[in-house]
Structure 1
Amino acid sequence: MDRLEQEKGGRLQVIRLNIMEPVGREMGRRLGFRVTPTFIVFDAQGHEVGRSIGSLDRALVDRVAP
């Protein structure tokens, strides 16, 4: 994830959540995920454009941060 942030510069923001902590559990409940790692990609307006479980789908990222 660090490398992805470096590659995309300011075009991408990565937020890491730990589902073992209260805020992570709450966000998991709100976003509807239980399996980790889960990667959810949002566009600039905050709309979900896709998600992947287990490994990050770079095509999703490249769609919103070319």
Structure 2
Amino acid sequence: MERELEGQASVLRISVTSPVGRTLIRQYGVYAVPTFLVFDGNGQAVYIQAGLPDRKAIVETIARLNPNTR
């Protein structure tokens, strides 16, 4: 997915066992691995999905946030 979104969004992988990961688990109610989150330009989570990624939904969400994406 990183290659598909190159130039359109920053993609981060965060381990749930890291200090940052443990904080995010509490903050966003993550209950399954993997969980995918998309944030808007203000840092608000606008998409949260547990389980295997719905690539189409993620790409469409990012496209709505940035209409200049390809």
Unaligned runs of 5+ residues in structure 2 are 64-68
Q: Which has the higher helix share?
A: 1
Gaps of 5+ in 1: none
- Paired positions, count: 63
User: C-alpha root-mean-square deviation of aligned residues, in Å?
Assistant: 1.8
Is the aligned partner of 1:51 residue 2:48? Answer: yes
Question: Which of 13, 17, 30 matches 1:16?
Answer: 13
Deviation at 1:45, TM superposition (A): 3.1
TM-score (norm 1): 0.72
Q: Hey, what does 1:60 align to over in structure 2?
A: 58
Identity of counterpart residues, as a percentage? 40
Moved over 3 A (4+): none
TM-score of the superposition, structure 2-length normalised? 0.69
